């Protein structure tokens, strides 16, 4: 439910990144020098970005921190602050199998346990950065003989999706929780300042690791990104079982046409990717 008044402004927690500067430019043009509590007041932000000449991928990136700001106070703005329509094609390439193995070996040998787990969540489950950002410690738990991860998916209003955690990912998860402390409601992944890692920060961390591991470079940086790991999972599922509905389930696509991009078919979403490193 939206607030009835717009007298109170939201605290500015967007920082000083280029995304924040663009948003503040928009606010200034609208005569708004504080972030309004009611997102209806800035519902044309996406259109404003389009009119300024930003590409769809940039618009999506610029809208993300603003939506997260409102989501932090319980307001879902996806149907209010609308972005560009999806182009049903890959904006990034899948990562070749040998490069995924190279990446997982690198994080195991060179990265912190936190960063290793973040990379493995993308490589094993095909999770989005926003889904990883929203995780709390209590979202990972044992149910009967299985370990379950509860997810707050993109475009949803709560944690309404569960995935089994098995194989190497399970071992890393258990090690991470054993070596870190916190309450069930604490963020799963925090910065050095003890704040929840933002989706763009997670992508930045993984992108830098991919560069250090040698699988992202100047020649392929326009086609390879952290999101490419998600495409890799979808591609493997599609090739294994050729079931478009399994791809949709595994990657939580709202539109079945997005799943069709991965070619038909996939195995049951419970048969998770098992990288041998």
**54 is in which domain, residue-wise?**
9-71
Query: Is residue 95 situated within a structural domain?
Result: no
pTM of the model: 0.64
Length of the chain: 277
Query: Is residue 201 situated within a structural domain?
Result: yes
Query: Is residue 88 situated within a structural domain?
Result: no
Query: Is residue 248 situated within a structural domain?
Result: no
Assess whether 108 and 148 both reside in one domain: yes
Q: What is the pLDDT along the chain (277 residues), one digit of tens a residue?
A: 334 434 568 888 787 788 899 999 999 999 998 999 999 999 999 999 999 988 887 888 899 889 988 988 888 898 899 887 655 445 567 888 899 999 999 999 999 999 999 999 999 999 999 999 999 999 999 999 999 999 998 777 889 889 999 989 999 999 999 999 999 999 999 998 889 999 999 999 999 999 999 999 888 888 888 988 888 888 777 777 677 777 677 777 776 777 676 653 334 344 445 665 5
Query: Is residue 77 situated within a structural domain?
Result: no
Assess whether 107 and 172 both reside in one domain: yes
DSSP H helices in the chain = 18-29, 45-51, 56-71, 97-110, 113-125, 129-133, 167-179, 199-212, 228-241, 244-251, 256-260
- With a CB cutoff of 8 Å and minimum separation 6, the contacts of 158 are 152
* Domain end among 71, 87, 117: 71
* Domain end among 189, 222, 255: 222
For residue 211, the domain's CATH number is 1.10.443.10
Strand partners, 125: none
């Amino acid at each position: 439910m939206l607030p009835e008044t717009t007298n109170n402004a939201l605290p500015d927690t967007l920082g000083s990144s280029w995304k924040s500067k663009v948003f503040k430019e928009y606010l200034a043009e609208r005569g708004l020098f504080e972030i309004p509590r009611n997102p209806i007041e800035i519902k044309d932000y996406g259109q404003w970005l389009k009119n300024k000449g930003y590409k769809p991928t940039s618009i999506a990136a610029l809208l993300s921190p603003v939506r997260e700001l409102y989501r932090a106070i319980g307001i879902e703005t996806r149907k209010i602050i609308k972005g560009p329509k999806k182009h049903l094609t890959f904006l990034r390439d899948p990562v070749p199998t040998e490069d995924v193995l190279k990446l997982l070996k690198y994080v195991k040998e060179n990265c912190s346990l936190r960063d290793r787990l973040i990379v493995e969540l993308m490589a094993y489950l095909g999770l989005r950065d926003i889904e990883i950002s929203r995780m709390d410690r209590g979202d990972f738990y044992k149910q009967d003989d299985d370990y379950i991860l509860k997810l707050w998916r993109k475009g949803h209003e709560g944690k309404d999706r569960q995935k089994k955690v098995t194989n190497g990912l399970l071992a890393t998860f258990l090690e991470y929780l054993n070596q870190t402390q916190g309450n069930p409601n604490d963020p799963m992944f925090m910065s050095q300042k003890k704040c929840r890692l933002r989706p763009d920060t997670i992508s930045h961390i993984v992108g830098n690791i991919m560069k250090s591991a040698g699988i992202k470079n100047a020649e392929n940086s326009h086609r390879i990104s952290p999101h490419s790991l998600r495409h890799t999972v979808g591609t493997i599922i599609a090739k294994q079982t050729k079931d478009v509905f399994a791809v949709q389930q595994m990657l939580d696509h709202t539109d079945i046409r997005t799943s069709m991009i991965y070619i038909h078919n996939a195995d049951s979403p419970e048969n998770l990717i098992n990288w041998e490193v």
